Amino acid sequence: MIRTALIAGLLLAACSSPATQTAPVSPSPSIQEGTYPAQYHDATRASAALETLSSDAFEGRKTGEPGNLKAQDWIIGRLETFGVAPLQNGDYRAAFETPDFSGRQIEGTNILAVIDGRRGQDAPVIVMSAHYDHLGTGEDGIYNGTDDNASGVVALLETVAWFQENPPENDLVFAFFDAEEQGLAGSAEFVRDLPDAIAGRLAFNLNLDMVSRADKGEIFAVGTHHYPDLIPLVDGVAERAPLKLSRGHDSPEWGDQDWSTMSDHAPFLRAGVPFIYLGVEDHADYHKVSDTFDKVDPETFARSVDTVLMVAEAVDEYVAAEAN
């Protein structure tokens, strides 16, 4: 997640009455105390993966730096373990060059895998995405980026595992984007120059960015303001999800907390591709060296990943129904 207007927004919030922050109400499930038994994924595996990917060994995963390359190898190792195929040319890596915020040319690498759907060759394509890059290392230390966005990467890997066992209707591309923190560069490049294998078939983006904290017990589905047809999909999942799933953060009334263009779903939105972005509200550790694994409540993360998977299943059904 990149929030370039964050500081200005905080100042604004401090000297004005709170904006209307009430999203259309979705039914909130009762969250009970105790250990939540994950229904759709391996919570032990996911927690271990989150700890590993956000450990100091990955040095904050900054685009172009050794820790980022190490993260690429780690993600590809997981994809190979799950037995999921590369999208193109027998190589998971799709390299690109792009200017960053400051106009400096950077080299990035998206990691792309595919699971073929049951509908066959001309099936719609759903891109499920999460960025793996983060801010690297600074004077304060290592920006581990557990929530931003090791959490989305791990949730996406669990989504891969789920659909390997439960074949989807549509073709699913799993995109681990690079250089999100450099201005959504990886996703912008992907949408600008779509891989031949999916050209003309791009139907949907489900983007995951910051899905582990839910300090208020809530995760947001962003996008229904732009695509109101998706409201029943989100509300349908919200009725049975193990974590409160709310709509919002996607219209001008949210002010600087309108997240419509703040993560990798933005290039899809600009290209007219329907999307849902799942993410939690800002927390005190956002873009700080304190965004670390010990801040994550394992039960909340398990509930969140299950909720992500329920949305992913619902998106697959929605896109299949739309194509009929």
Enumerate binding residues for Zn ion (CB under 5 A): 1, 148
CB of 149 to Zn ion, least distance (A): 7
Peptide bond into 68 cis (omega under 30): no
Written as one letter, the residue type at 212 is S
Alpha-helix runs per DSSP H in the chain: 6-14, 43-53, 66-82, 151-165, 185-192, 231-238, 266-270, 298-323
CB of 17 to Zn ion, least distance (A): 28
CB of 68 to Zn ion, least distance (A): 14
User: With respect to Zn ion, which residue has the nearer C-beta, 148 or 306?
Assistant: 148
Task: For strands 202-208 and 125-131, give the pairing.
Answer: parallel
CB of 264 to Zn ion, least distance (A): 11
Contact 151, 296 (CB under 8 A): yes
Q: Which structure tokens are listed for 183? A: 């201005």
User: With respect to Zn ion, which residue has the nearer C-beta, 126 or 188?
Assistant: 188
SS3 136: coil
User: With respect to Zn ion, which residue has the nearer C-beta, 1 or 276?
Assistant: 1
Give the count of beta carbons closer than 10 Å to the beta carbon of residue 28. 15
CB of 230 to Zn ion, least distance (A): 24
User: With respect to Zn ion, which residue has the nearer C-beta, 1 or 222?
Assistant: 1
- Residues near 23 by Cβ (< 8 Å), separated by ≥ 6? 220, 246, 247, 248, 249
User: With respect to Zn ion, which residue has the nearer C-beta, 145 or 168?
Assistant: 145
CB of 64 to Zn ion, least distance (A): 16
Alpha-carbon torsion (76, 136, 128, 50), positive or negative? positive
CB of 88 to Zn ion, least distance (A): 27
User: With respect to Zn ion, which residue has the nearer C-beta, 1 or 314?
Assistant: 1
CB of 140 to Zn ion, least distance (A): 15
Cα–chain center distance at 268: 13
User: With respect to Zn ion, which residue has the nearer C-beta, 128 or 135?
Assistant: 135
- Residues near 73 by Cβ (< 8 Å), separated by ≥ 6? none
Alpha-helix runs per DSSP H in 33-184: 43-53, 66-82, 151-165
Q: What angle do CA 229, 202, 208 make, to 5 degrees?
A: 70
User: With respect to Zn ion, which residue has the nearer C-beta, 132 or 174?
Assistant: 132
Q: Which helix (H) or strand (E) holds 265?
A: none
SS3 285: coil
CA distance 30 to 22: 19
CB of 262 to Zn ion, least distance (A): 9
Q: Which structure tokens are listed for 193? A: 């120059």
User: With respect to Zn ion, which residue has the nearer C-beta, 171 or 180?
Assistant: 180
